[in-house]
Amino acid sequence: MDNPVIILHGWSDNSRSFAAISKFIKQLPNKKTVHLHLGDWLSMHDDVTYSDLGTAMQRAWHEMGLPTDDRSVDLVVHSTGSLVARQWLTQFYSASHNPVKRFVMMAPANFGSHLAHKGRSFFGRAVKGWGQPGFQTGTQILKGLELASPYSQQLAFNDLFSEDSWYGAGKILATVMIGNSGYSGISAIANEDGSDGTVRISGANLNCSRITVALDEQQSVLPGSLQFSRSKGDIALAILDNENHSTLVFKDKGPKNSLTQTILAKALRVEDTDYQPLADSFNWQQQINALDPAVVSKSPQRSQIVCQLTDHLANNVQDYFVEFYRTGKKDQKFEQELYQQLLCGVHAYSDNGAYRTLYFNLASLSELRQRYQLNQLYISFNAEPHYKPPRQPVGYTSVAASATAGIKLPPEQIDWLFTPHQTVLLQVIMQRSVDAAVFKLRR
């Protein structure tokens, strides 16, 4: 008998909204019997956290008598459901021993949504909140769903950068499905290039990278501190042309793309052999690429960096500007075009400005690299308070306009940092300067 399939929904959804997709899964060929258990979790209550949901999910799992043997179930999730499922897995299980064999993430908000901070204010209260106790909008859930949230970053550290790989042959066979089109009508106000209207492609994709670095007082890289790493495991990414956040999961007269059904059906039948290495990828990813070879390149070329800036005294640096430049000489035209064309937007996490997401238009970067023959790029930080004793006896030293410092990227590392449809987690430790006049002992 095939594995039972469990479906989890996203923020403010309930299991009834997934009737169409559950019907499709039940009718899949080569499936003997699919025991479809629809999970309803209270995502709109203000005090409910992700760890609460993980605990409740584990309790419900046992109460329903669902299998707990290794790789004994398949899991289909939508939107915020991906965060809940990954929380549950990392909270109660290990990479080598957990119940999930196939994990299909449909439009998952793995690195948040550009709508979450709006959901906590007017949008969530007026549109999503009615009918819930106290008109609540799930404050704790939305905080984790906000761009640059510490929660989504830590969750990535737990399952993507942990010592043991969670995903790939012999482990969880994961597939991420995400549309490349936004909403129509009045809902189009939520649209953003490179997203499905709610979730960015780069924010759904679990194939990501991490950079850690420590800087001295002059923002020179401390020896041995600059580290680059890729997320562990093999996770398939399928970008579906013409699908948005709703049509992908068979809502709003969806799916719009016949490949959505094809890939979902196959993702629920993949085996370890489909995750065997092939060329610079793996078998299942190559199969997906062959179904629509042009979709990756014709989807808006976007990427994002989630930056966390702290100092060596463990303070959060909450007021800063990320500087990109190629030389210490006057280079005003290039720098103006770089910021106007490459950088699409910046979002500082509302509860802690040390965390922020920078969103990039990589089509513009390609043009700039060709036009200016860009062979290096510096990244440094202009942080407040500026260290200027004695008037300002503590703070951070910025890089002089005529100097270069910070992270220096050669061409191959520029490619590495700005990979289409991916997220980079950048963790930077600055040196906080403290003038001797701050504390003196007198005899």
Mean pLDDT in the chain? 91
**Listed residues 283, 298, 313: the one ending a domain:** 298
What are the two backbone dihedrals, phi and then psi, of residue 351, each rounded to the nearest 5 degrees? -90, -10
Q: Which of 103-117, 157-171, 350-364 has the lowest mean pLDDT?
A: 103-117
Same domain assignment for residues 285 and 325: no
**pLDDT on residue 98:** 99
One-letter amino acid at 423 equals T
| Residue 223 belongs to a domain | no
pLDDT per residue as tens digits for the range 356-389:
999 999 999 999 999 999 999 999 999 999 999 9
Same domain assignment for residues 99 and 246: yes
Mean pLDDT of 109-121: 82
| Residue 215 belongs to a domain | no
Same domain assignment for residues 138 and 44: yes
Question: Is the model's pLDDT at 107 over the cut of 70?
Answer: yes
- Let me know if 122 is exposed, middle or buried by CB neighbors in 10 A (0-12, 13-18, 19+): exposed
Same domain assignment for residues 406 and 292: no
**Listed residues 250, 271, 298: the one ending a domain:** 298
Residue 372: closest CA among 415, 333, 416:
333
| Residue 213 belongs to a domain | no
Assign residue 105 the CATH number of its domain: 3.40.50.1820
Task: Give the span between the Cα atoms of 388 and 385, in whole angstroms.
Answer: 9
Question: Is the model's pLDDT at 277 over the cut of 50?
Answer: yes
One-letter amino acid at 172 equals I
Share of the chain above pLDDT 70, in %: 90
Question: Is the model's pLDDT at 273 over the cut of 70?
Answer: yes
CA dihedral in degrees (288, 293, 296, 299; nearest 10)? -120
Same domain assignment for residues 289 and 312: no
User: Which is more confidently placed, 23 or 349?
Assistant: 349
User: Which pair of structure tokens corresponds to residue 156?
Assistant: 């990535």
Same domain assignment for residues 25 and 81: yes
| Residue 181 belongs to a domain | yes
The number of beta carbons lying within 10 Å of the beta carbon of residue 137 is 24
Query: Residue 130: which pLDDT band, with cuts at 50, 70 and 90?
Result: very low
| Residue 119 belongs to a domain | yes
Is 99:188 a contact under the CB 8 Å cutoff? no
Q: Which domain holds residue 398?
A: 302-434
Residue 10: closest CA among 38, 43, 37:
43
pLDDT per residue as tens digits for the range 39-90:
565 656 788 899 998 998 898 889 888 899 999 999 999 998 899 999 999 9
Same domain assignment for residues 373 and 329: yes
Same domain assignment for residues 256 and 325: no
**Listed residues 263, 298, 333: the one ending a domain:** 298
Same domain assignment for residues 354 and 415: yes
**pLDDT on residue 330:** 95
Q: β-strands 343-348, 394-395: how paired?
A: unpaired
pLDDT per residue as tens digits for the range 410-426:
999 999 999 999 999 99
Same domain assignment for residues 393 and 413: yes
Query: Residue 11: which pLDDT band, with cuts at 50, 70 and 90?
Result: low
Same domain assignment for residues 284 and 344: no
What are the two backbone dihedrals, phi and then psi, of residue 358, each rounded to the nearest 5 degrees? -110, 130
Assign residue 382 the CATH number of its domain: 2.60.40
pLDDT per residue as tens digits for the range 235-270:
999 999 999 999 999 998 999 999 999 999 999 999
Same domain assignment for residues 251 and 399: no
pTM of the model: 0.94
Task: Give the span between the Cα atoms of 330 and 338, in whole angstroms.
Answer: 14
- Structurally, the chain folds into a number of domains equal to 2
